[in-house]
Structure 1
């Protein structure tokens, strides 16, 4: 399994970039998974549902299954999950795109939009190999245009497969 990260501030277009490169990666015959870290308190479960009731009663995990998909709701009451533990939970796949987990030592691409007004991340992150941006970085750091989907997909493949991470 190969792992490649997508980094950037909220509103920079990380999820949109992933959404746009996924069909190209799949067209290469790859099975691709995505891990998205969120800082927001989220819950896909609803009070009163059987799964919610089981978790509230103390279940460490609840697996929901239908004929078309499964979801595992795992409680992390004491410590947040580590990326390596999340990777181990995935079904077999060729490539995992990771959005977030910026402290993990995985190769990554920074997504940057000038309109956000946010600073560049790459100067402080040695794992960022290039930026996908609508403006060039001030110092000539490697850049791929945000709308250049084929070059972005090629970059991800090249660097995911040149770094063994899992």
Structure 2
């Protein structure tokens, strides 16, 4: 048994760091969400930020967009030309994706500043891509409403998860300290 632990130590350390950091970040995020009153259907601050930035980008592209909090659920309705298009809910803020990204980078951590810098840059990139993803989803639904399920359920999740996967590959191959040792 001891031989297996020694042989697979790098993998076990990776798993331990990944699951511990993921669990810690999920708990912190849940504490953040708990400060909003679910009974009053309050929308969390990050979801509001994403909704407002989505609105700003849509209006920059000359769409007559408006945001309306929904009284029956913690979400924000986006309307374009007074027609409801999408609801932005807590799951749309990409925090869970950012947590997954961060846990992976921590599990493959290198030097602190390099790791921290890559995490911050990655989170910012994911956030920007997420806002653009929602904007493009809205534009797609307006122009191709018959493809709403395909756009929302397949195409746009593929874009954001594919981007995170590319960030992971970039980290492991270019920035992480073990990659440099093995070259």
Task: State TM-score, norm by structure 2.
Answer: 0.24
Whose strand fraction is larger, Structure 1's or Structure 2's?
A: 1
- Taking CA–CA contacts closer than 8 Å with sequence separation of 6 or more, which of the two structures ends up with the larger relative contact order? 1
